[in-house]
Amino acid sequence: MDEDEIYLSRILPVVLNRQNQAYLWADADLRVRYASQQAASILGVKELAGLSLSDVAPELLGMEETLKTLARERHLPFLLRHINRDTPGGKTRYFSIALYPSKAEQPDGLVVALKDTTFTSTLLQELTQGRNTLRLMQQQLEEANRFKNLTLTILSQEINGRLEMMLNYVDVYVDQLLAEEDNPDVESVETLTTLRKGIHTLAMSLQQLLSLEQIERGHVTLNKETCDLTALVQHTWKIYLELAQDQFILHKEISPHHAWVCGDPNRLEQVLYNLISNAVKYTPSGEHITVGVESDKSETRLWVENTGIGISSERRESIFHPRFHTGNLDHLLQQGSGLGLFIVQRIVEAHEGRVELTSDGSSFVRFTVYFPTYHPTAEC
């Protein structure tokens, strides 16, 4: 018996079995000569000796010449992962196959190492399935969100159009009543004024909803133009006076000069509406509410100040978060969504501005909005 035969028949089987792992050895013709017990167990075959590698692993079919070259020329190892076999118990077993050329002093052939990867492969498969499920759910959520956004946009346009029509009818009717100099119907005028206030409040609430949706998407839509903030406040002052309902002492500190900013007039009105609404909601009856506008070459400032209440220093950052209310003033506050100041901050930031809160903690609160000043002839 020559050295090769001694190695193949006596030494190799002992070496493979002592490893306590799944190994088999195939000769240069890719036929299995010896195999460990663990290899037979993994492959589910009682007798491996004499089988070709393609019989042992059909995944190797068509690769015979490559494997023979590997065995003959001692090329780098060859690896197959995630091979699976059904077991008699109905389960699936996964394993990997690594094919190594024999050492230089040994006969040409391949040492085939098999590793049971059922646990890791099953886990990987479950993770992949979970990832695919999450990806599908994400796609479904994105589609549902797109549908929601489209529906919200269409409905808001329709509702806004109807509300504007209603406001126009109310204004025309009020003008007609006031034109009756001999006997104007004061009661009807007051009723229509209340109706107008309700319509405007509804329109602004709808605008709040749309703004929140845009903020959630990370994009606040602006239709910018050069605006006179002084004129905007003067124009809308009457509407906001109605919010006070004769409960507060109202003041204006508006510069007689223009206060030019580059912005979306509707968004700027929304900022003013939210700040005044916030003051009206949280100011005790009989206290003062002041609205002011001033401008210089670099900045234009809009502020709303109210007395009789304060915000502590540790809560000033949280005031711009949704659903925030100052806890020590619950008896004065109406419950609300807390979104007004949050929306104000996002709109102002979209205009490249900032919002500052000033308060002594007990007797007054002042919100100041800063915008870059624009010249009316500059391109916005």
Q: Which amino acid is at 175?
A: D
| Cβ–Cβ under 8 Å, residues 97 and 26 | no
In a domain? residue 297: yes
- Both 64 and 184 in one domain: the answer is no
In a domain? residue 369: yes
- Both 156 and 71 in one domain: the answer is no
In a domain? residue 373: yes
Series of mean pLDDT values for 10-residue runs along the chain (380 residues)? 55 58 86 86 85 90 89 80 84 88 78 88 90 94 84 77 84 80 74 81 78 75 90 79 71 88 92 88 88 92 92 82 50 51 91 94 93 85
- Both 155 and 109 in one domain: the answer is no
| Cβ–Cβ under 8 Å, residues 319 and 325 | no
Which residue segment(s) compose the domain that 252 sits in?
220-380
User: Where among 89, 116, 143 does a domain terminate?
Assistant: 116
- How many Cα atoms are found within 13 Å in the side-chain-facing hemisphere of 335? 0
- Both 75 and 111 in one domain: the answer is yes
User: Where among 201, 219, 237 does a domain terminate?
Assistant: 219
User: How many domains does the structure of the chain reveal?
Assistant: 3
- Both 225 and 360 in one domain: the answer is yes
In a domain? residue 49: yes
Distance, in Å, from the CA atom of 307 to the CA atom of 216, rounded to the nearest integer, reads 33
Angle at which helices 229-244 and 265-282 cross, to 10°: 30
Position 31 scores a pLDDT of 92
CA dihedral sign of residues 214, 216, 217, 220: positive
Q: How open is the CA angle 178-184-190, to the nearest 5 degrees?
A: 75
Position 9 scores a pLDDT of 54
Q: How open is the CA angle 81-87-88, to the nearest 5 degrees?
A: 170
Q: Residue 108 sits in a domain of what CATH number?
A: 3.30.450.20
- Both 255 and 363 in one domain: the answer is yes
- Both 266 and 380 in one domain: the answer is yes
- Both 184 and 327 in one domain: the answer is no
Q: How far is CA 6 from CA 3, 14, 28, 314, in A?
A: 5, 12, 17, 86
- Both 109 and 137 in one domain: the answer is no
User: Where among 166, 193, 219 does a domain terminate?
Assistant: 219
Can you tell me whether residue 354 is helix, strand or coil?
strand
Q: Residue 227 sits in a domain of what CATH number?
A: 3.30.565.10
Position 242 scores a pLDDT of 63
In a domain? residue 143: yes
- Both 240 and 365 in one domain: the answer is yes
- Both 204 and 226 in one domain: the answer is no
In a domain? residue 126: no
